[in-house]
Structure 1
Amino acid sequence: MRIRHLAPAALALLLLTGCSTTAPAETPDAAACSYVSDGQAAREAELPPTEPTGVGAVTLETSAGEIAVSLETERTPCTVGSFVSLAEQGYFDETQCHRLTTSGIYVLQCGDPSGTGTGGPGYSFGDEVDGSETYPAGTVAMANAGPDTNGSQFFLVYEDSQLPPSYTVFGQMDDAGLEVVREIAAVGAEGGAGDGAPATPVTITGVAID
């Protein structure tokens, strides 16, 4: 279904959703992270370690080019810990970025092995937000289906976008990576829609831990 002429906030609610969960995760604290199994895995994955990781950067290797991302390890340790754990397990390998928006908000959404926008890793975890979040071009943030329902889906912001501070910002693309996403967006979504699968399929072939 095509979605046209929606206000940015309404479009955001339709776009930035991941898999729903039956049990919300506890809000993580500075000492340890909590990941709650929900039994709804699009691709099986082990739970991440509860101790934060020290990884500070990754590179998304895609069919459109490399996208280097610096990670907000200190500010969002549990989100980064989950992302890095999934990357190390090969969870994102050979998965398609399933959604592109070119109106209202400007993001490429990835991280669902099922390619449907509803898949996740079989667990959820809490938001790491403080209300000051903004989403300028270059932002990498978690998609969700409501408070504390983070899983594996994330989005790459390629132009400044107005969103409520409800999505954990856990990384920043470098200039070259941002240009890769902008080139994907320039081709548009399937059928010329403002919200849909990228017209040019984009596959994450792997994630390199830098």
Structure 2
Amino acid sequence: MMAVLGGGVAQASPSAEGTGAPDTTRGPCAYTVTPDEPAARPVPLPPDPRHTPDRGHPEVLLRTNQGPVPLVLDRAQAPCTVQSFLHLVRKKFYDDTTCHRLTAYPTLKVLQCGDPSNTGEGGPGYRYSDELPTDLAPAPNDPTGLRRIYPRGTLAMANAGPDTNGSQFFLVTSDSVLRPNYTVFGRITPAGLATLDKVAAGGIVPNPDSEVDGRPALTTDIERAKRTC
């Protein structure tokens, strides 16, 4: 469901149906329900104040069965994304979910999470616009000149095309080459990278479609996501 990384599509929120709630929030982030894509887990639209907080670095801990994955978010870089992510953490949207995709391509090494349905097809019932990075280094030897390096330790949103951010996100385990079409909204701490390195070293469950793209052999469950700072 995503141009390169799959999933991350915003989906309809049952909590907004039949309640008179607006289909789009009135603030600058304009979180919008997507009725054609039922939510994987009911959750209301995020708050959307007139001024989106754009300073500070909130910290979130993903407590997984493979070890801790602490994250440091960046409000200045992607204020609407951080606001949505913290909302989903607060509503326990990510609790008891499984990271459904690990990639081991030469130029794309990520773990993707954030879908309570554990299929890669689920989202939170809403979508919102991209906040694309402008400071990523160009990929070397790229004849198109369009690709950029998403460095090891990057935290970014998955999507299914322009302005389809929802709940799925990816954690970059090694420098990866992509077009700059994915919102970067934070980084993974060294302790988190140690956990992700273990997951990546475990490899991918064999499947008929790909040897380098599939479910991690070391099943990685987010037992709880919580804000720590």
Q: TM-score range by the shorter chain?
A: 0.7 to 0.9
Q: Do 2:199 and 2:218's aligned partners in 1 also have CA atoms closer than 8 Å?
A: yes
Q: Structure 1: which 5+ residue stretches go unaligned?
A: 1-11
The residue type equivalent to 1:112 in the other structure is D
Once the two structures are TM-superposed, the CA of residue 204 in structure 1 deviates from its matched residue by 0.4
Corresponding residue to 1:195 among 213, 218, 221: 213
- CA RMSD, aligned part only? 2.2
Aligned residues: 194
Corresponding residue to 2:123 among 115, 120, 123: 120
Matches for 1:55-204 after TM superposition, within 5 Å? 56-103=58-105, 104-133=107-136, 134-191=149-206, 193-204=211-222
Looking at structure 2, the residues matched to 13 and 194 of structure 1 have their Cα atoms a distance apart, in angstroms, of 17
Looking at structure 2, the residues matched to 141 and 117 of structure 1 have their Cα atoms a distance apart, in angstroms, of 16
Q: Do 2:63 and 2:223's aligned partners in 1 also have CA atoms closer than 8 Å?
A: yes
Once the two structures are TM-superposed, the CA of residue 170 in structure 1 deviates from its matched residue by 0.4
Q: Do 1:132 and 1:165's aligned partners in 2 also have CA atoms closer than 8 Å?
A: no
Tell me the SS of whatever aligns to 1:177: helix
Tell me the SS of whatever aligns to 1:183: helix
Q: What is aligned with 1:34? A: 30
Q: Structure 2: which 5+ residue stretches go unaligned?
A: 13-22, 137-148
Tell me the SS of whatever aligns to 1:80: helix
The residue type equivalent to 2:114 in the other structure is G
Structure with more of its chain in helix, by fraction: 1
Which range moves more in the overlay, 44-53 or 97-106? Answer: 44-53
Q: What is aligned with 2:142? A: none
Looking at structure 2, the residues matched to 130 and 175 of structure 1 have their Cα atoms a distance apart, in angstroms, of 22
Percent sequence identity is 45
Q: Do 2:96 and 2:223's aligned partners in 1 also have CA atoms closer than 8 Å?
A: yes
Q: Do 2:133 and 2:184's aligned partners in 1 also have CA atoms closer than 8 Å?
A: no
Tell me the SS of whatever aligns to 2:116: coil
Q: Deviations over 1:5-56 (max 9, x none)?
A: xxxxxxx84434333669xx99x9xx73210001320111110011335661
Once the two structures are TM-superposed, the CA of residue 200 in structure 1 deviates from its matched residue by 1.3
Once the two structures are TM-superposed, the CA of residue 140 in structure 1 deviates from its matched residue by 0.4
Q: Do 2:73 and 2:187's aligned partners in 1 also have CA atoms closer than 8 Å?
A: yes
Q: What is aligned with 2:139? A: none
Tell me the SS of whatever aligns to 2:132: coil
Tell me the SS of whatever aligns to 1:81: helix
Looking at structure 2, the residues matched to 165 and 98 of structure 1 have their Cα atoms a distance apart, in angstroms, of 23
Once the two structures are TM-superposed, the CA of residue 198 in structure 1 deviates from its matched residue by 0.6
Q: Do 2:157 and 2:168's aligned partners in 1 also have CA atoms closer than 8 Å?
A: yes
Looking at structure 2, the residues matched to 130 and 194 of structure 1 have their Cα atoms a distance apart, in angstroms, of 26
The residue type equivalent to 1:19 in the other structure is V
- Give the TM-score of the pair, scaled to structure 1: 0.85
Looking at structure 2, the residues matched to 191 and 75 of structure 1 have their Cα atoms a distance apart, in angstroms, of 37
Q: Do 1:20 and 1:118's aligned partners in 2 also have CA atoms closer than 8 Å?
A: no
